[in-house]
């Protein structure tokens, strides 16, 4: 057993950035189940939003974020996000992140639902990769302990306070305990719940499941963002086509070559992601196709090759020159707005336990994340986690601006479905979630998914290795997502139900789960 001041679980932007700040305060350990570079951050193409443009302001960024969140953003945390953004961006620049510039000034682009161009980028469309490489290089050269291939599988607590974490060595199978004063979960979201996703294979809801089992509160799990434009080519893994492509003038066309987004909403291709994704699904249904097309052939080829070099090269390697031909795309699971419920300092309801990045639910995204706010959230609230640990502080007293309602998961009982449900494996879980708990939902489909998931969970054996731990975590996250979607009898943001197609004032509140003994 070893003791550290800080233990950070996860090695994406949130975990690495927190570690670089925390090491100035005390001994720091990063636990990551793969290599330090296995994370979602490096797949973030678009960039990071910050109000530094001439026609921009934190106030305008605040308004755009609140509007995208569809009534469920926490105004206090959104204000923190937009006001503290520039200082945190300055940290990234000091660490060496090479943001793109023109004539000595940082270049900015526009993405959907932003009023102005405010998205910084690096390497054109390789922002996440540049941030990840830069921060991981800094971590490797700092006096930070890093344990790779080490899977955290249980949070240790005593009398309501965190003690540390029990972890599995994925190579040897041995179990070790690591104790700490502060434990920070930064494991990312749960995109591997779905058949089609932009997420890395490591994104299996680990931090959310760990926190729930330890007694932490989990909020807003029904709000899963599906990115509208993901490359759809036979035999090619889902590959993100950045929203910035539409920001630069890309047009969506159906398989018949017709532009269709203006038929759905005035903002057309620059509407919020949830609207664009559902519009694409409806258009695919109308045309009996599994894809639509993103057209950039009317844009200058030099703009495409210099602004989106990564996308251009990837498509070219698979036989598609996007400066001359249409890009086949369809929606895919992309980002979880919900997660471990935290206050504006990243604190959970368990003393000493924090969460940051996509693992956390800070309230800034509400029902629908504004594009390029995710990387920003990771650093703004990651920094606040460390600031909170520097001095002993009483629990935060500020009241959230949106009411939360606490629920327990239904008891995991074997239903009469036993014997008729498909066997539990990752492909079957992903297909169930895509078909029944995906972009467009219904009460009937959600109930069917709920029964199957409860049955699967009741039959789960004790996990013994990385893959079985990940499957257990995904099943738990699937249940949290499905039960929240079943409870929310309305449509709001990324959550859309055909049996309740309108938003309801009654549901302008957060759904929060906490474990009880019978769950």
User: Taking the chain (519 residues) in consecutive chunks of 10 residues, what is each chunk's mean pLDDT?
Assistant: 93 96 97 81 73 95 95 97 96 94 89 89 85 93 96 96 97 96 98 95 97 98 96 93 91 98 95 91 96 98 94 96 98 97 97 98 96 94 96 60 89 65 96 98 97 94 95 98 98 97 97 82
Beta-strand runs (E) in 234-383: 239-240, 251-253, 292-295, 327-336, 339-341, 353-355, 360-361
Nearest CA among 440, 423, 426, 416 for reference residue 477: 426
Domain co-membership, 240 together with 327: yes
Q: What is the dihedral of CA 378, 384, 390, 392, to 10 degrees?
A: -130
Residue identified by tokens 């974490």 is 165
> CA-CA distance, 397 to 419, in Å (whole number)?
50
Domain co-membership, 317 together with 235: yes
CB-CB contact of 342 with 355 (8 Å): yes
- Measured N-to-C along each axis, helices 13-22 and 127-141 cross at an angle, to the nearest 10 degrees, of 30
pLDDT of the residue at 42: 56
Instruction: Indicate if the alpha-carbon torsion angle 139, 140, 144, 150 is positive or negative.
Output: positive
6 lies in some domain: no
Domain co-membership, 408 together with 500: yes
pLDDT of the residue at 39: 67
- Of 331, 366, 382, the residue that ends a domain is 331
pLDDT of the residue at 109: 85
The torsion angles phi and psi of 296, rounded to 5 degrees, stand at -125, 15
Domain co-membership, 415 together with 323: no
CB atoms within 10 A of CB 158: 8
pLDDT of the residue at 37: 73
Catalytic residues, by residue number, are: 273
421 lies in some domain: yes
Domain co-membership, 409 together with 504: yes
Domain co-membership, 317 together with 414: no
Give residue 284's domain range: 228-331
- Of 331, 363, 386, the residue that ends a domain is 331
DSSP letters spanning 78-134: HHHHHHSHHHHHHHHHHHT----EETTEE-EE--TT-SS--EE-STTT-HHHHHHHH
- Reduced to 3 states, what is the DSSP secondary structure of residue 183? strand
Residue 142's Cβ-side half-sphere holds a number of Cα atoms within 13 Å equal to 24
- Of 331, 359, 390, the residue that ends a domain is 331
Tokens of 212: 């729930």
The 10 Å CB-count burial string (b at 16+, else e) for 453-463 is bbbbbeeeeeb
Nearest CA among 139, 136, 111, 134 for reference residue 123: 134
> CA-CA distance, 178 to 163, in Å (whole number)?
8
Domain co-membership, 408 together with 326: no
CATH number, domain of 497, equals 1.20.58.100
Tokens of 134: 């830069």
> CA-CA distance, 371 to 222, in Å (whole number)?
18
355 lies in some domain: no
pLDDT of the residue at 418: 60
Domain co-membership, 327 together with 410: no
Tokens of 237: 């893994």
pTM listed for this prediction = 0.94
Domain co-membership, 241 together with 322: yes
Total tally of structural domains belonging to the chain? 2
503 lies in some domain: yes
pLDDT of the residue at 441: 98
Tokens of 41: 């951050």
Bin 135: left if φ > 0, else alpha if -120 < ψ < 50, else beta.
Answer: alpha
pLDDT of the residue at 43: 62
113 lies in some domain: no
CATH number, domain of 323, equals 3.90.700.10
């Amino acid at each position: 057993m070893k003791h550290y001041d800080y233990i950070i679980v996860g090695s994406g932007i949130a975990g690495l950035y927190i570690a670089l700040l925390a090491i100035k305060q005390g001994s720091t350990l990063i636990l990551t189940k793969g290599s330090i570079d296995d994370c979602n951050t490096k797949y973030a193409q678009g960039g990071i939003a910050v109000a530094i443009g001439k026609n921009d302001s934190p106030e305008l960024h605040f308004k755009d974020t609140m509007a995208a969140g569809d009534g469920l953003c926490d105004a206090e945390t959104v204000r923190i996000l937009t006001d503290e953004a520039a200082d945190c961006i300055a940290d990234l620049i000091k660490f060496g992140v090479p943001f793109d510039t023109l004539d000595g000034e940082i270049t900015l682009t526009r993405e959907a639902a932003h009023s102005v161009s405010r998205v910084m980028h690096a390497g054109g469309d390789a922002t996440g990769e540049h941030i990840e490489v830069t921060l991981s290089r800094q971590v490797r050269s700092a006096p930070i302990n890093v344990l790779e291939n080490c899977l955290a599988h249980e949070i240790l607590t005593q009398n309501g306070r965190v003690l540390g974490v029990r972890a599995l060595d994925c190579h040897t199978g041995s179990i070790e305990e690591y104790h700490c004063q502060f434990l920070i979960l930064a494991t990312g979201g749960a995109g591997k719940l779905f058949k089609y996703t932009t997420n890395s294979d490591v994104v299996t809801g680990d931090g959310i499941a760990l926190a729930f089992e330890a007694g932490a509160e989990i909020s807003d799990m029904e709000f899963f963002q599906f990115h509208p434009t993901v490359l759809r080519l036979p035999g090619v893994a889902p590959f993100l086509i950045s929203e910035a492509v539409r920001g630069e003038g890309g047009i969506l066309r159906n398989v018949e070559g017709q532009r269709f987004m203006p038929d759905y909403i005035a903002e057309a291709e620059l509407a919020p992601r949830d609207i664009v994704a559902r519009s694409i699904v409806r258009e695919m249904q109308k045309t009996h196709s599994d894809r639509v097309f993103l057209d950039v052939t009317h844009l200058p080829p030099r703009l495409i090759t210099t602004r989106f070099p990564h996308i251009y090269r990837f498509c070219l390697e698979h036989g598609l020159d996007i400066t001359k031909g249409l890009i086949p795309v369809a929606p895919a699971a992309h980002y979880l707005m919900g997660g471990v419920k935290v206050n504006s300092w990243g604190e959970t309801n368990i003393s000493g336990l924090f969460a940051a990045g996509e693992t956390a639910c800070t309230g800034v995204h509400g029902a629908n994340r504004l594009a390029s706010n995710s990387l920003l959230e990771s650093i703004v609230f990651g920094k606040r986690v460390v600031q909170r640990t520097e001095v002993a502080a009483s629990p935060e007293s500020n009241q959230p601006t949106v009411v939360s309602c606490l629920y327990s998961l239904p008891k995991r009982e074997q239903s009469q479905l036993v014997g008729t449900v498909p066997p539990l494996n990752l492909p079957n879980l992903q297909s169930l979630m895509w078909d029944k708990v995906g972009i467009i939902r219904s009460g009937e489909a959600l109930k069917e998914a709920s029964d199957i998931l409860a049955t699967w969970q009741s039959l789960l054996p004790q996990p013994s290795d990385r893959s079985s731990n990940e499957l257990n975590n995904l099943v738990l996250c699937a249940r949290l997502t499905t039960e929240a979607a079943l409870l929310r009898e309305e449509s709001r943001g990324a959550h859309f139900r055909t049996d309740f197609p309108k938003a309801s004032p009654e549901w302008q509140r957060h759904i929060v789960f906490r474990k009880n003994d019978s769950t």
